[in-house]
Protein backbone atom coordinates (compact mmCIF):
# COMPACT_ATOMS: atom_id res chain seq x y z
CA UNK A 1 0.00 0.00 0.00
CA UNK A 2 1.13 3.55 -0.66
CA UNK A 3 2.65 5.31 2.32
CA UNK A 4 2.47 9.06 2.22
CA UNK A 5 4.72 11.53 4.00
CA UNK A 6 4.63 15.31 4.19
CA UNK A 7 6.61 18.05 5.96
CA UNK A 8 5.22 18.58 9.43
CA UNK A 9 4.90 22.34 9.21
CA UNK A 10 5.56 25.39 7.08
CA UNK A 11 5.42 29.12 7.64
CA UNK A 12 4.68 31.67 4.96
CA UNK A 13 3.75 35.32 4.62
CA UNK A 14 0.61 36.72 3.15
CA UNK A 15 0.73 37.10 -0.62
CA UNK A 16 3.41 34.46 -1.13
CA UNK A 17 3.07 31.25 -3.09
CA UNK A 18 3.25 28.11 -0.97
CA UNK A 19 4.25 24.68 -2.22
CA UNK A 20 3.58 21.60 -0.12
CA UNK A 21 4.98 18.28 -1.23
CA UNK A 22 3.67 14.80 -0.51
CA UNK A 23 5.79 11.71 -1.03
CA UNK A 24 4.00 8.52 -2.06
CA UNK A 25 6.71 6.15 -3.24
CA UNK A 26 4.51 3.06 -3.52
CA UNK A 27 1.63 4.63 -5.41
CA UNK A 28 -0.17 2.14 -7.63
CA UNK A 29 -1.05 2.58 -11.28
CA UNK A 30 -4.70 3.38 -10.69
CA UNK A 31 -4.30 5.58 -7.64
CA UNK A 32 -5.44 9.19 -7.71
CA UNK A 33 -3.98 11.92 -5.52
CA UNK A 34 -6.30 14.24 -3.66
CA UNK A 35 -5.54 17.16 -1.38
CA UNK A 36 -7.64 18.30 1.54
CA UNK A 37 -7.61 21.30 3.85
CA UNK A 38 -8.57 21.00 7.49
CA UNK A 39 -9.30 23.72 10.02
CA UNK A 40 -9.34 22.97 13.77
CA UNK A 41 -12.34 20.92 14.88
CA UNK A 42 -13.68 20.64 11.33
CA UNK A 43 -13.73 17.87 8.78
CA UNK A 44 -11.27 17.93 5.89
CA UNK A 45 -12.37 19.87 2.84
CA UNK A 46 -11.54 18.95 -0.78
CA UNK A 47 -9.06 21.20 -2.56
CA UNK A 48 -7.90 19.46 -5.74
CA UNK A 49 -7.34 16.06 -7.32
CA UNK A 50 -5.08 14.75 -10.04
CA UNK A 51 -3.59 11.68 -11.65
CA UNK A 52 -0.59 13.01 -13.57
CA UNK A 53 1.01 16.21 -14.88
CA UNK A 54 -0.69 19.42 -13.77
CA UNK A 55 -4.17 20.26 -12.60
CA UNK A 56 -5.40 23.74 -11.77
CA UNK A 57 -8.62 25.02 -10.28
CA UNK A 58 -9.73 28.31 -8.82
CA UNK A 59 -7.89 27.84 -5.53
CA UNK A 60 -4.81 25.70 -6.19
CA UNK A 61 -2.59 23.83 -8.60
CA UNK A 62 -1.37 20.28 -8.31
CA UNK A 63 1.87 19.13 -9.91
CA UNK A 64 2.56 15.43 -10.36
CA UNK A 65 5.83 14.29 -11.99
CA UNK A 66 5.97 11.49 -14.51
CA UNK A 67 6.95 8.83 -11.95
CA UNK A 68 4.04 9.91 -9.72
CA UNK A 69 6.02 9.18 -6.57
CA UNK A 70 5.34 12.63 -5.24
CA UNK A 71 2.94 15.50 -5.73
CA UNK A 72 3.07 19.18 -4.94
CA UNK A 73 0.17 21.33 -3.91
CA UNK A 74 0.67 24.96 -4.87
CA UNK A 75 -1.34 27.71 -3.20
CA UNK A 76 -0.93 31.07 -4.95
CA UNK A 77 -0.87 34.26 -2.89
CA UNK A 78 -1.86 32.81 0.48
CA UNK A 79 -3.84 34.80 3.02
CA UNK A 80 -4.24 34.47 6.77
CA UNK A 81 -7.36 32.36 6.22
CA UNK A 82 -5.24 29.69 4.52
CA UNK A 83 -3.71 28.81 7.87
CA UNK A 84 -4.72 25.18 8.24
CA UNK A 85 -3.47 21.61 7.99
CA UNK A 86 -3.14 20.22 4.48
CA UNK A 87 -3.36 16.52 3.74
CA UNK A 88 -2.71 14.49 0.66
CA UNK A 89 -4.79 11.39 0.14
CA UNK A 90 -3.82 8.48 -2.03
CA UNK A 91 -6.50 6.00 -2.96
CA UNK A 92 -4.81 2.65 -2.72
CA UNK A 93 -6.03 -0.19 -4.83
CA UNK A 94 -4.93 -3.54 -3.51
CA UNK A 95 -7.82 -5.74 -4.39
CA UNK A 96 -10.15 -3.34 -2.62
CA UNK A 97 -9.97 0.42 -2.33
CA UNK A 98 -8.33 1.87 0.73
CA UNK A 99 -7.58 5.46 1.54
CA UNK A 100 -4.32 6.61 2.99
CA UNK A 101 -3.94 10.12 4.25
CA UNK A 102 -0.56 11.75 4.48
CA UNK A 103 0.87 12.87 7.76
CA UNK A 104 -0.41 16.40 7.22
CA UNK A 105 1.39 19.74 6.87
CA UNK A 106 0.51 22.53 9.26
CA UNK A 107 0.69 25.77 7.30
CA UNK A 108 0.89 29.01 9.22
CA UNK A 109 0.43 32.21 7.25
CA UNK A 110 1.91 35.29 8.86
CA UNK A 111 0.89 38.88 8.29
CA UNK B 1 -21.38 23.03 5.08
CA UNK B 2 -20.56 19.77 3.29
CA UNK B 3 -24.07 18.33 3.57
CA UNK B 4 -22.85 15.42 5.68
CA UNK B 5 -24.24 15.35 9.20
CA UNK B 6 -22.92 13.51 12.21
CA UNK B 7 -24.40 13.00 15.64
CA UNK B 8 -23.60 13.47 18.39
CA UNK B 9 -21.02 16.25 18.22
CA UNK B 10 -19.48 15.28 21.53
CA UNK B 11 -19.55 12.08 23.52
CA UNK B 12 -18.04 11.37 26.92
CA UNK B 13 -18.10 7.86 28.24
CA UNK B 14 -16.18 5.43 30.41
CA UNK B 15 -13.85 2.59 29.60
CA UNK B 16 -15.60 -0.66 28.82
CA UNK B 17 -18.70 1.06 27.49
CA UNK B 18 -20.26 0.93 24.03
CA UNK B 19 -21.28 3.89 21.87
CA UNK B 20 -22.88 4.43 18.50
CA UNK B 21 -21.97 7.24 16.15
CA UNK B 22 -24.35 8.20 13.41
CA UNK B 23 -23.77 9.65 9.96
CA UNK B 24 -26.14 10.93 7.29
CA UNK B 25 -24.50 11.29 3.88
CA UNK B 26 -25.16 14.03 1.35
CA UNK B 27 -28.32 13.57 -0.62
CA UNK B 28 -27.64 11.19 -3.49
CA UNK B 29 -24.33 9.86 -2.18
CA UNK B 30 -24.11 6.09 -2.02
CA UNK B 31 -20.72 5.69 -0.34
CA UNK B 32 -19.98 6.33 3.30
CA UNK B 33 -16.52 6.28 4.85
CA UNK B 34 -15.42 6.33 8.46
CA UNK B 35 -12.14 7.79 9.68
CA UNK B 36 -10.51 8.13 13.06
CA UNK B 37 -8.31 11.12 13.83
CA UNK B 38 -6.16 11.09 16.91
CA UNK B 39 -3.21 13.29 17.80
CA UNK B 40 -0.58 10.61 17.38
CA UNK B 41 -2.10 8.68 14.47
CA UNK B 42 -3.42 11.32 12.11
CA UNK B 43 -6.37 10.48 9.86
CA UNK B 44 -6.87 6.72 9.72
CA UNK B 45 -9.30 5.08 7.34
CA UNK B 46 -11.56 2.62 9.12
CA UNK B 47 -14.17 1.31 6.73
CA UNK B 48 -16.27 2.14 3.67
CA UNK B 49 -19.78 1.15 2.71
CA UNK B 50 -21.36 1.46 -0.68
CA UNK B 51 -25.10 1.18 -1.10
CA UNK B 52 -25.46 -0.93 2.01
CA UNK B 53 -22.52 -3.23 1.49
CA UNK B 54 -19.04 -3.16 2.92
CA UNK B 55 -16.65 -2.04 0.18
CA UNK B 56 -13.27 -1.55 1.86
CA UNK B 57 -11.76 -2.12 5.22
CA UNK B 58 -8.86 -0.25 6.75
CA UNK B 59 -7.40 -0.29 10.22
CA UNK B 60 -10.62 -1.01 12.02
CA UNK B 61 -10.40 -2.85 15.31
CA UNK B 62 -12.50 -5.94 15.95
CA UNK B 63 -14.22 -4.04 18.77
CA UNK B 64 -15.54 -1.61 16.15
CA UNK B 65 -18.23 -2.35 13.62
CA UNK B 66 -20.28 -0.36 11.17
CA UNK B 67 -23.26 -0.72 8.92
CA UNK B 68 -25.13 1.24 6.30
CA UNK B 69 -28.89 1.14 6.32
CA UNK B 70 -31.36 1.12 3.39
CA UNK B 71 -31.84 4.89 3.74
CA UNK B 72 -28.03 5.13 3.34
CA UNK B 73 -27.28 6.54 6.76
CA UNK B 74 -24.50 4.76 8.59
CA UNK B 75 -23.61 3.92 12.15
CA UNK B 76 -20.24 3.17 13.68
CA UNK B 77 -20.38 1.06 16.82
CA UNK B 78 -17.49 1.16 19.23
CA UNK B 79 -17.48 -1.35 22.07
CA UNK B 80 -15.30 -2.26 25.06
CA UNK B 81 -13.95 1.25 24.85
CA UNK B 82 -10.41 2.00 25.92
CA UNK B 83 -8.71 5.27 26.76
CA UNK B 84 -6.88 5.10 23.44
CA UNK B 85 -10.15 5.21 21.53
CA UNK B 86 -10.52 8.87 22.43
CA UNK B 87 -10.40 10.68 19.11
CA UNK B 88 -12.34 12.58 16.48
CA UNK B 89 -14.39 10.28 14.30
CA UNK B 90 -15.26 11.58 10.85
CA UNK B 91 -17.74 10.32 8.39
CA UNK B 92 -17.43 11.19 4.71
CA UNK B 93 -19.61 10.45 1.73
CA UNK B 94 -19.23 10.36 -2.03
CA UNK B 95 -21.49 9.79 -4.98
CA UNK B 96 -19.90 6.55 -6.06
CA UNK B 97 -17.11 4.24 -4.96
CA UNK B 98 -13.50 4.33 -6.03
CA UNK B 99 -10.39 6.29 -5.37
CA UNK B 100 -11.31 9.02 -7.80
CA UNK B 101 -14.37 10.03 -5.85
CA UNK B 102 -14.33 13.31 -3.94
CA UNK B 103 -15.11 12.63 -0.34
CA UNK B 104 -17.19 15.18 1.57
CA UNK B 105 -16.54 15.14 5.29
CA UNK B 106 -18.92 15.76 8.14
CA UNK B 107 -18.06 17.88 11.17
CA UNK B 108 -17.01 14.86 13.23
CA UNK B 109 -17.87 13.35 16.58
CA UNK B 110 -15.42 13.99 19.39
CA UNK B 111 -15.23 10.95 21.66
CA UNK B 112 -13.64 11.14 25.06
CA UNK B 113 -13.19 7.92 26.99
CA UNK B 114 -12.48 8.40 30.70
Instruction: Give the mean model confidence (pLDDT) for residues A73-101.
Output: 85
B107 shares contact with chain A (CB less than 8 Å): yes
Instruction: Give the mean model confidence (pLDDT) for residues B27-43.
Output: 90
Q: How far is B87 from chain A (nearest CA, A)?
A: 11
Which pLDDT band holds residue A3 (cuts at 50, 70, 90)?
Answer: confident
End-to-end CA gap in chain B: 31
Query: Would the CA dihedral through B90, B29, A45, B43 be positive or negative?
Result: positive
| pLDDT at site A34 | 93
Q: Which is higher by pLDDT, A98 or B108?
A: B108
Is pLDDT of A97 > 60? no
Yes or no, beta carbons of A97 and B108 under 8 Å apart: no
B92 shares contact with chain A (CB less than 8 Å): yes
Secondary structure class of A81 (helix, strand, coil): helix
How many angstroms separate the Cα of A105 from the Cα of each of A10, A65, B77?
7, 20, 30
Tens digits of per-residue pLDDT, B40-64? 778 999 999 999 999 988 889 999 9
Is pLDDT of B94 > 90? yes
Q: How far is A18 from chain B (nearest CA, A)?
A: 22
Which pLDDT band holds residue A98 (cuts at 50, 70, 90)?
Answer: confident
E-only strand ranges, A7-104: 9-13, 18-24, 33-38, 45-50, 53-56, 61-64, 70-75, 84-94, 96-101
Please enumerate in sequence order all residues whose Cβ is within 8 A of that of A65, keeping only pairs 6 or more positions apart, or say none. none
Interface of chain A toward chain B, CB-CB under 8 angstroms: 30-32, 34, 36, 41-46, 49, 87, 89-93, 96-104
CB pairs under 8 A between A and B: 71
| pLDDT at site A2 | 55
Distance of alpha carbon B54 from alpha carbon A9, whole angstroms: 36
Query: Would the CA dihedral through A87, A91, A94, A97 be positive or negative?
Result: positive
Q: Measuring CA to CA, which residue among A85, A29, A22, A1 is closest to residue B45? A: A1
Percent pLDDT > 90 in chain B is 82
Which pLDDT band holds residue A94 (cuts at 50, 70, 90)?
Answer: low
Number of H helices, E strands in chain B: 0, 11
Is pLDDT of B102 > 80? yes
Yes or no, beta carbons of A104 and B42 under 8 Å apart: yes
Mean pLDDT of chain B: 94
Q: Measuring CA to CA, which residue among A25, A8, A27, A76 is closest to residue A47? A: A76
Tens digits of per-residue pLDDT, A6-63? 999 999 999 999 999 999 888 888 888 999 999 988 999 999 999 999 999 999 999 9
Is pLDDT of A1 > 60? no
| pLDDT at site B32 | 96
- Encode burial over B46-76: b for 16+ CB neighbours within 10 A, e otherwise: bbbbbeeeebbebebeeebebebeeebbbbb
Amino acid sequence: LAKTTQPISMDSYEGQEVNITCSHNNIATNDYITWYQQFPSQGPRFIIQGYKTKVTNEVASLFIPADRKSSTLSLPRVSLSDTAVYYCLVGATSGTYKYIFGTGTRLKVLA
Amino acid sequence: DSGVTQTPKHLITATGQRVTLRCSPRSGDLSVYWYQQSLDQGLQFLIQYYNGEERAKGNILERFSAQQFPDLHSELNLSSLELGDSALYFCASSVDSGNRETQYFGPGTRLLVL
